[in-house]
A and B are shown apart, each in its own frame.
Chain A
Amino acid sequence: METHELYHELYSEEIGKTARTRLLAWRIVLGVLAAGLVLGMVLFCVNADPIEPGTQQLKATVFLVLGGWLGLFLLFHSLSPASRENKHILRMRQEDGETETYEGRIRCGEKPEYIPGSVPVFRVRLEDDPHDGKALLRKSAAKSFPREGQLKLQIKNGFIIAWQEAER
């Protein structure tokens, strides 16, 4: 009999800790960026030439515009997703809910879906489910998840919380 991969837990304590650390890291990065912008502006103002402030003012403006754009980019593309991910994982770990088990063929969607205010997910079709069911797979957990195959899933509140390859 062939051996299969180990049981994959998608909302383990370790995963929760990683999500918290990632969120904290991005908060620190943005905090440092904000502090840097403030400090930079203070320095520009202190070094301003009262007779001909134009050049310093232009530099300060460019500095603040670009710094702010970088901050906005990191906020929307790094901190915000990290925050949503952390919130989602925490909620899934803390929430009560019935855990269902499914064993059978699955087919994972090709493109992730983006639900406002939540984490990006893949829609996984449970092909052997008599009710033609679907489950959601957190995008960040999808790297090692097979596109299709025979799997054993644990599903809670519509999300796949653990999986392993089904025994043949």
Chain B
Amino acid sequence: MRKRSIFDRVPLYLLWALFAVLLTMGLFQLVTDTGRQNKLTLMVNAQEVQDVALMRKLAEDLPDGIRMIKVRPFSYAMLSESSLKEADMWLIRESDFERFLPDFGPVAGYKENHPEHDYHTVKNGEDEIWGVKVYDAASGSGALKEYVGYAPAEGETPEDWYLVFNPSSLHIGKNGQDTAAFTLAERLLTLP
């Protein structure tokens, strides 16, 4: 019988490589992420998002009880379907309200306490769905211009952008929970 060469064991080496990739992914997911109760997630429906830069900026001053803030483009939902539905807030265009209406729901405790902001309101049956204005297309003024590409694609009309709270978020003051999402919204509205 001939001596087994290194090439006879190529499948085993490949299997190890696959195992190593999966193990590393799992380990890093474990150490760089945390549960929804200690995390805020903002999903942005824009082609260009400086998510890393924005996350680093927001990490400088985290709301109480929050260990990390994740900023993700909507395209991230291709990797993780639940990420859209589990986000605490969405930054969307005005035209997105119709598209995502089934996922929206009434959220109390912010609009009433912040009458100084502009809002866009849509009726969904008996519920009032609203978003707080972040960017005004007509004047070109607003927040997060350094981080979000508000400019429309070629052929599209410039639109206003709004921050909408997810009614299933754990940080909107429901059932005695914290209002860290509201605190984050206030912070976002001050960022250039």
A interface list, Cβ under 8 A from B: 41, 45-46, 48-53, 56-57, 60-61, 64-65, 68-69, 72-73, 76-77, 112-116, 120
> A52 touching B52 by the CB < 8 A rule?
yes
Task: Give the docked Cα–Cα distance between A48 and B30 (Å).
Answer: 11
Contact A64 to B23, CB < 8 A, known contacts A51-B59, A72-B9, A72-B12: yes
Chain B residues with CB under 8 Å of A69's CB are 13, 16-17
Q: Are A114 and B24 in contact (CB under 8 A)?
A: no
> Would A61 and B52 be within 8 Å (CB), given that A51-B59, A72-B12 are in contact?
no
Query: Which chain B residues (18-32) contact chain A, with CB distance < 8 Å?
Result: 19-21, 23-25, 27-28, 31-32
Residues of B within 8 A of A49 (CB): 32
List residues of chain B with CB within 8 A of the CB of A73.
Answer: 6
Of the candidates A48, A52, A56, A114, which one forms a contact with B1 in the assembled complex, judged by CB atoms under 8 Å apart? Answer: A114
Does more than half of chain A's interface fall in helix, strand or loop, or is it mixed? helix
* Contact residues in B for A61 (Cβ distance below 8 Å): 20-21, 24
Query: Contact: B3 with A48, CB < 8 Å?
Result: no
Inter-chain contact A48/B16, CB cutoff 8 Å? no
- Report whether B16 and A57 are in contact in the complex, using a CB–CB cutoff of 8 Å: no
B12: A residues at CB distance < 8 A: 72
Q: Across the interface, which residues of B come within 8 angstroms of A115, CB to CB?
A: 1
B27 lies within 8 A of A41 (CB): yes
